[in-house]
Amino acid sequence: MKRNRMWLSLIVVAGLLLAASVAQAQEGRVTIELTGIAAGIGVSWGSGTLVYRGKTYNFKVDGLSVGDVGMAKVTAVGKAYNLRNIADFAGNYAAVGAGAAVGGGAAALTMQNQRGVAMDLTATQAGVKFNIGPQGLTVTMR
């Protein structure tokens, strides 16, 4: 009887460790460098990196806006969630809720793509409006 409990305990612990490992593997760190010029409707371009499962992947972004700030270079950092494989990261992201101001005047944004991958980003330059254009944010892997 004691031996059965010991095996059951080991199986439960192994299951919990596996679940924690899978949950951690579905998360990545994101950094985006965005340059924008607010001339009329504004123009912006950017690139970024995703660190996922110990590897770094480069990508291009289109559709982020830095608002009416003239010329600006903005760095946004955050996390990507619900990644099952790297191919899930690329796609068209739409805002989930409204952008928010965070401490120090920085801006925060949460968005999700068609595969269920979500990104929480915070712009690290104070005083910058940071939002997605009407067509959404497009991430293309390089």
- Domain-embedded: residue 52: yes
**Cβ distance 34 to 76 under 8 Å?**
yes
- Domain-embedded: residue 18: no
First to last CA, the chain: 57
103 vs 66: which has the higher pLDDT: 66
Residue 42: which CATH number?
A: 2.40.128
Number of domains in the chain: 1
Domain carrying residue 66: 27-141
- Domain-embedded: residue 3: no
- Domain-embedded: residue 116: yes
- Domain-embedded: residue 78: yes
- Domain-embedded: residue 17: no
- Domain-embedded: residue 117: yes
- Domain-embedded: residue 130: yes
pLDDT single digits (tens) 81-139: 999 999 999 999 988 865 544 445 566 788 999 999 999 988 776 556 666 666 678 89
79 vs 12: which has the higher pLDDT: 79
Residues 6+ apart with CB under 8 A from 117: 80, 81, 82, 83, 88, 89, 91
Name which of 113, 123, 26 is nearest 74 in CA terms: 123
For residue 74, name the pLDDT band (cuts at 50, 70, 90).
Answer: confident
* pTM of the predicted structure, to 2 decimals: 0.71
